[in-house]
């Protein structure tokens, strides 16, 4: 037990012992003067003062947070010698006074020795290496003294003194065990018996102080299990706990000697270790360790006859003594770990500065996005959709965010952030309202469209209020005829949701008149059988396939296949991202009906669209 609490405890004992020695020491000096042994008593007292000064220096010399492990060990050794010396001084005064039985000073001497032993056993209980020798230093001379009396009562006192020694040792050991137990509970995790966050942070700080002196490097691995929550939620916490224990066993098996492993909480673990003279070697070792850990963790687990598979995301940061504190490095590893999660989990990343800049800019975007709606910074642009004759048949509404500090932010950037923060519900609602209002206004201005498409994010779609909000807005802005022009674009990720509920909601909205389009078709993983179950009206060929048309044989095959398939499924087909006449011609030749892309027009503001519409008709 060598952590901050331990040192704090030791530290507090120094002034206690100095005060307990300097003041009663004066009494002994006085007694010595009264009984004619002033000179030896005075010398003794000078020694007490000297040792006290030494103790005071030790007291001032401890600064736990900045000391390296080596310096702390040195401090501790000196501290031990200080205590041995102090208690030896008390044995010395005992030896001096116990001979003075003519003046009855020996009573005082005997009492002093017993008192000092009691003080030692209680003050030093936290450390076996301190209380054992000091109790012996104090009690053995007393036992010998009683024994040397040579009379029957001397032997009785010897027996008593031995018993007292045993009791003191016993009491000190019990307090010590209790302290150790409390310490263990405060520094370890109950479920896995690994060190906890509290201990780890302290350990890391110590390591960093040492690295600061040696200018070496260590690594820090932050391990987060992927989809552990699913196991917990679907199979129960008992299975989850057992799985965690198995994970810990595997981690321990892979752990290089001398590395420290701790559980930060939940399904997060952290490892630090290694002493490397150069940074590159440290990075190599860290990545190798991380890869071994991932490979081992991915092997099948059998818990309660369930066969489970999990993977892990690991963030690595390299630590050195450079000024920072332990928390900074844990945060760096955390950022790297989140980067792994964002890139699809099951992997390892090393922290770098560019990563932290990205995180910061993301946080800033997130913060500003919260005010975007209130400040009316989100608007809609509209990209025309045309048929093969060039008639404008519809538009797709695309969100735009114009911010004073960030400038124009792409929806590809802010929509995912809005989804992750839950802001998409409010934002989506605003987009729906703006879209519906525009459709209404255009209709009143004599613009006749077949369809008006709005992108719906999955998180927005699955929100419990979605249906009610759409119904309320439709009620407010659109009559039955206009509602039938609405198309909601959803993406293939929707099939990862509760498919039956998705179908239910889609059918209810279809009853209102709304049609559905599968956006970015071909980029996701949805199977045909799923696709067939969804009540879709339209497929949008992803612009990646369209742009591949000119130069890749596969692009052409892919587009032809999608068009054939949608014909079989009786779905309307829209090609997006059409940029050239060649692409357009190919798509027309293969039976595509609706076209959207820069070849015809960029997304336009509402006014721009009105002008464009009037020019084309
Ligand atoms: P998307 O639904 O696939 O939208 C089409 C994107 O392609 C738009 O980008 C559009 O400007 C762009 N585009 C159109 N024609 C061409 C072309 O010929 N060539 C190329 N290279 N690009 C073309 P934008 O507006 O930046 O939107 C990006 C994505 O953001 C959208 O992809 C959509 O997933 C999402 N998004 C946009 N608005 C909304 C919205 O209101 N709600 C939701 N949930 N998502 C939106
Ligand atoms: Ca779209
Ligand atoms: Ca698309």
> For residue 607, what is the domain's CATH number?
3.20.20.450
- Looking from the CA of residue 383, the nearest atom of ligand 1 is 14
Atom index in ligand 1 nearest the CA of residue 410 equals 26
Q: If you measure from the C-alpha of residue 402 to the centroid of ligand 1, how many angstroms do you get, rounded to a whole number?
A: 16
223 and 283, same structural domain?
yes
Tell me, in angstroms, the distance from the centre of ligand 3 to residue 539's CA. Answer: 10
Please tell me whether residue 600 adopts helix, strand or coil conformation: coil
CA of 489 to the centre of ligand 2 (A): 6
Pairing mode of beta strands 378-387, 268-276? unpaired
pLDDT given at position 179: 86
Among residues 399, 409, 475, which one has the least CA distance to residue 436?
475
Beta strands in 145-195 (DSSP E): none
What does the pLDDT read at residue 409?
A: 94
DSSP for residue 3: S
Name 349's bridge partners: 315
Contact 549, 582 (CB under 8 A): yes
Q: Ligand 1 centroid to 395 CA: how many Å?
A: 12
Atom of ligand 1 minimally distant from the CA of 419: 44
Pairing, β 486-490 against β 515-521: parallel
- Residue 538 pairs with which residues in a beta bridge? 517, 572
Domain presence at residue 332: yes
* Residue 223: both structure tokens together: 């391990």
Q: How far apart are CA 541 and CA 520, in angstroms?
A: 6
Domain membership of residue 428 (yes or no) is yes
Residues 6+ apart with CB under 8 A from 323: none
Q: Which residues is 394 bridged to in the sheet?
A: 385, 451
My answer on whether 176 and 203 are in the same domain is no
Instruction: Assess whether 535 and 611 both reside in one domain.
Output: yes
Residues 602 and 515 in one domain: yes
List all residues 6 or more positions away from 465 whose beta carbon is below 8 Å from its beta carbon. Answer: 425
C-alpha span between 69 and 354 (Å, rounded): 33
- CA of 316 relative to ligand 1 center, distance in Å: 35
* Residue 20, CA distances (Å) to 23, 27, 409, 580 in order: 6, 12, 71, 94
Whether 347 contacts 295, CB under 8 Å: no
Range(s) of the domain holding residue 70 = 4-187
CA pair distance 167, 170, nearest whole angstrom: 5
Q: Are residues 311 and 432 in the same domain?
A: no
Contacts of 199 (CB under 8 A, 6+ apart): 3, 187, 188, 262
Same domain, 370 and 398: yes
Listed residue (333, 343, 324) closest to 221, CA to CA:
333
543 C-alpha to ligand 3 centroid (Å): 7
Give the burial string for 391-404 (b: 16+ CB within 10 Å, else e).
ebbbbbbbbbbebe
Which residue has a Cα nearest atom 15 of ligand 1? 597
Q: How far is CA 473 from the centre of its chain?
A: 41
The alpha carbon of 343 and the centre of ligand 2 are apart by a number of angstroms equal to: 22
Across the chain, which has 617 residues, the per-10-residue mean pLDDT values are 75 91 92 91 96 95 82 90 92 90 85 91 85 93 94 95 95 90 91 94 87 88 92 89 96 95 95 93 96 96 91 94 82 93 90 90 91 95 97 97 94 92 93 97 95 95 93 95 96 81 94 94 72 90 88 82 88 95 94 95 97 91
Would you say residue 357 lies in a domain? no
Mutation to probe ligand 1, out of 394, 455, 546 (largest number of atoms < 8 A from CB): 455
- Nearest ligand to the CA atom of 433: 1
What distance in Å separates the CA atoms of residue 294 and residue 275, rounded to the nearest whole number?
22
CB distance 49 to 98 below 8 Å: no
Write the burial class of residue 302 (CB in 10 Å: 0-12 exposed, 13-18 middle, 19+ buried). Answer: exposed
Residue 201 and residue 183 share a domain: no
Report pLDDT for 527: 66
C-alpha of residue 473 to centroid of ligand 3, in Å: 25
Closest ligand 1 atom, residue 489 Cα: 2
Asked if residue 521 lies in contact with residue 540, where contact means CB atoms within 8 angstroms, the answer is yes
Atom of ligand 1 nearest to the CA of 397: 41
Using CA atoms, how far residue 496 sits from 394, 459, 462, in Å, is 29, 11, 11
Cβ contacts of residue 381 below 8 Å, gap of 6+?
Answer: 397, 398, 399, 400, 603, 604, 605
Q: Whose CA is nearest to atom 19 of ligand 1?
A: 577
**Which bound ligand lies closest to the C-alpha atom of 487?**
2
Does a structural domain hold residue 356?
Answer: no
Q: Which of 331, 351, 371 is the last residue of a domain?
A: 351
Rounded to whole angstroms, the Cα distance separating 145 from 112 reads 14
Ligand 1: residues with CB < 6 A are 383, 398-399, 410-412, 415, 431, 455-457, 519-520, 543, 576-579, 597-598, 603
Task: Report pLDDT digits (tens) over 532-566.
Answer: 889 999 999 999 899 988 777 877 888 888 888 88
Instruction: Tell me which residue of 4, 6, 258, 5 sits closest to 129, measured CA to CA.
Output: 6
CA 63 to the chain's CA centroid: 29
- Among 187, 222, 246, the domain-final residue is 187
Residue 191: DSSP 8-state:
T
Q: Give the nearest ligand 1 atom to 457 CA.
A: 44
Question: Ligand 1 center to residue 167 CA distance, Å?
Answer: 81
Question: Residue with the nearest Cα to atom 28 of ligand 1?
Answer: 412
Residue 254 falls within a domain, yes or no?
yes
Identify the nearest ligand to the CA of 541 by its number.
Answer: 3
Please report the pLDDT score of residue 526 as a whole number: 62
**Cα(463)–Cα(432) distance, rounded to whole angstroms?**
14
Whether the Cβ atoms of residue 83 and residue 98 lie closer than 8 Å to each other: no
What does the alpha-carbon distance between residue 597 and residue 600 come to, in Å, rounded to a whole number? 6
The region, left, alpha or beta by phi > 0 then psi within -120 to 50, assigned to residue 29 is alpha
**Is there a single domain that holds both residue 79 and residue 221?**
no
Evaluate whether residue 96 is within a structural domain: yes
Spell out where 212-321 has E strands.
217-225, 260-265, 268-276, 301-303, 306-308, 312-319
Q: What is the largest CA-CA distance in the chain?
A: 130
Query: Hey, what long-range contacts does 254-257 have (CB within 8 A, 24 or more apart)?
Result: 254/289, 254/292, 254/293, 254/296, 256/289
18 found inside a domain: yes
DSSP 8-class letter at 380: E
**Residue nearest ligand 1's atom 12 by CA:** 577
Nearest CA to ligand 1 atom 34: 412
Contact 204, 326 (CB under 8 A): yes
Q: Calculate how far, in angstroms, residue 432's C-alpha sits from the geometric centre of ligand 1.
A: 16
Q: Is residue 291 part of a domain?
A: yes
Atom 24 (ligand 1) nearest CA: 411
- For 484, counting Cβ atoms within 10 Å of its Cβ (0-12 exposed, 13-18 middle, 19+ buried), the class is middle
d(CA 510, CA 391): 26
Rounded to the nearest whole angstrom, what is the distance from the C-alpha of residue 488 to the centroid of ligand 2? 9
Q: What is the pLDDT of residue 558?
A: 84
Question: Do 455 and 339 belong together in one domain?
Answer: no
411 alpha carbon, closest ligand: 1
Per-residue pLDDT at 47: 96
CA of 396 to the centre of ligand 2 (A): 7
Q: Do residues 425 and 465 lie in contact, with contact meaning Cβ atoms separated by under 8 Å?
A: yes
**Ligand with an atom nearest the CA of residue 434:** 1
Which of 329, 351, 373 is where one domain is finished? 351
Contact 458/493 with Cβ under 8 angstroms?
Answer: yes
Number of domains in the chain: 3
Ligand nearest to the CA of 597: 1
Q: Which of 380, 398, 458 for a ligand 1 pocket mutation test, highest count of atoms within 8 Å of Cβ? A: 398
Name the nearest CA neighbour of 271 among 314, 242, 239. 314
User: Which atom, in ligand 1's list, is nearest to the CA of 398?
Assistant: 38
Q: Ligand 1 atom closest to Cα of 456?
A: 44
377 and 515 co-located in one domain: yes
Compute the distance between CA of residue 241 and CA of residue 249 in angstroms, rounded to an integer. Answer: 13
- For residue 347, the CA-to-ligand 1 centroid distance in Å is 30
Task: Say if residue 101 is in the same domain as residue 136.
Answer: yes
CA angle at 249 for the pair 244 and 254, rounded to the nearest 5°: 125
Q: Which residue has the tokens 């969804």?
A: 534
How many A from CA of 463 to the centre of ligand 2?
19
Residue 262 is part of a domain; what is its CATH number?
3.30.70.270
Q: Examine the domain organization and report whether 336 and 380 are in the same domain.
A: no
Which of 396, 411, 488, 493 has most ligand 1 atoms within 8 Å of its beta carbon, as the pocket-test mutant? 411
Cross-strand bridge partners of residue 381: 398
Residue closest by Cα to atom 37 of ligand 1? 398
Residues 6+ apart with CB under 8 A from 275: 214, 216, 217, 218
Distance CA 139, CA 107 (A): 15
């Amino acid at each position: 037990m060598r952590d901050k609490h331990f040192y704090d405890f030791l530290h507090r004992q120094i002034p206690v012992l100095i005060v307990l020695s300097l003041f009663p020491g004066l009494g002994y000096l006085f007694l010595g003067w009264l009984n004619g042994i002033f000179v030896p008593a005075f010398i003794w007292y000078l020694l007490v003062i000297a040792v006290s000064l030494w103790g005071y220096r030790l007291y001032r010399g401890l600064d736990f947070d900045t000391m390296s492990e080596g310096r702390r060990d040195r401090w501790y050794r000196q501290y031990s010698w200080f205590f041995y010396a102090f208690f030896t001084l008390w044995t010395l005064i005992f030896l001096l006074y116990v001979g003075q039985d003519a003046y009855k000073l020996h009573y005082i001497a005997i009492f002093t020795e017993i008192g000092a032993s009691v003080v030692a056993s209680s003050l030093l209980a936290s450390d076996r290496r301190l209380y054992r020798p000091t109790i012996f230093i104090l009690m053995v001379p007393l036992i010998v003294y009683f024994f040397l009396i040579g009379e029957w009562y001397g032997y009785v006192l010897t027996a008593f003194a031995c018993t007292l020694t045993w009791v003191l040792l016993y009491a000190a050991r019990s307090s010590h065990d209790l302290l150790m137990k409390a310490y263990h509970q405060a520094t370890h995790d109950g479920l896995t018996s690994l060190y906890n966050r509290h201990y780890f942070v302290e350990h890391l700080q110590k390591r960093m102080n040492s690295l600061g002196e040696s200018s070496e490097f260590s690594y820090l691995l932050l391990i987060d299990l992927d989809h552990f929550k699913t196991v917990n939620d679907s199979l129960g916490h008992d299975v989850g706990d057992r799985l965690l224990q198995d994970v810990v066993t595997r981690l321990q098996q892979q752990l290089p000697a001398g590395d420290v492993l701790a559980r930060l909480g939940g399904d997060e673990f952290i490892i630090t270790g290694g002493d490397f003279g150069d940074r590159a070697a440290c990075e190599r070792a860290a990545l190798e360790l991380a890869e071994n850990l991932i490979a081992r963790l991915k092997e099948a687990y059998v818990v309660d006859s369930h066969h489970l598979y999990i993977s892990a995301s690991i963030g690595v940061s390299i630590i050195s003594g450079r000024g920072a504190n332990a928390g900074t490095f844990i945060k760096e590893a955390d950022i790297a770990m989140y980067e792994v999660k964002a890139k699809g989990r099951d992997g390892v990343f090393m922290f770098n500065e560019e990563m932290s800049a990205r995180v910061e800019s993301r946080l800033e975007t997130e913060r500003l996005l919260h005010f975007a709606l209130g400040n009316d910074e989100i608007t809609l642009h509209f990209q025309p959709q045309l048929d093969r004759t060039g008639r404008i048949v519809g538009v797709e509404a695309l969100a735009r965010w114009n911010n004073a500090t960030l400038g124009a932010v792409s929806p590809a950037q802010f929509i995912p952030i809005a989804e992750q923060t839950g802001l998409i519900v409010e934002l989506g609602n605003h987009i729906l309202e703006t879209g519906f209002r525009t459709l209404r206004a255009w209709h009143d201005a004599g613009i006749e469209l077949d369809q008006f498409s709005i992108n719906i994010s999955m998180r927005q779609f699955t929100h419990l209020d979605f249906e009610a909000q759409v119904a309320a807005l439709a009620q407010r802005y659109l009559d039955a005829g206009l509602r039938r022009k609405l198309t909601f674009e959803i993406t293939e990720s929707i099939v990862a949701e509760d498919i039956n509920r998705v179908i239910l909601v889609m059918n209810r909205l279809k009853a209102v008149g709304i049609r559905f389009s599968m956006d970015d078709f071909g980029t996701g993983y949805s199977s045909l059988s799923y696709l067939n179950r969804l009540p879709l009206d339209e497929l949008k060929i992803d612009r990646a396939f369209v742009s591949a048309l000119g130069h890749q044989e596969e692009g052409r095959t892919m587009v032809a296949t999608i068009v054939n398939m949608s014909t079989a499924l009786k779905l309307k087909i829209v090609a997006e991202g059409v940029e050239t006449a060649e692409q357009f011609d190919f798509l027309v030749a293969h039976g595509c009906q609706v076209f959207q892309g820069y070849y015809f027009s960029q997304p336009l503001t509402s006014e721009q669209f009105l002008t464009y519409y009037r020019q084309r008709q």
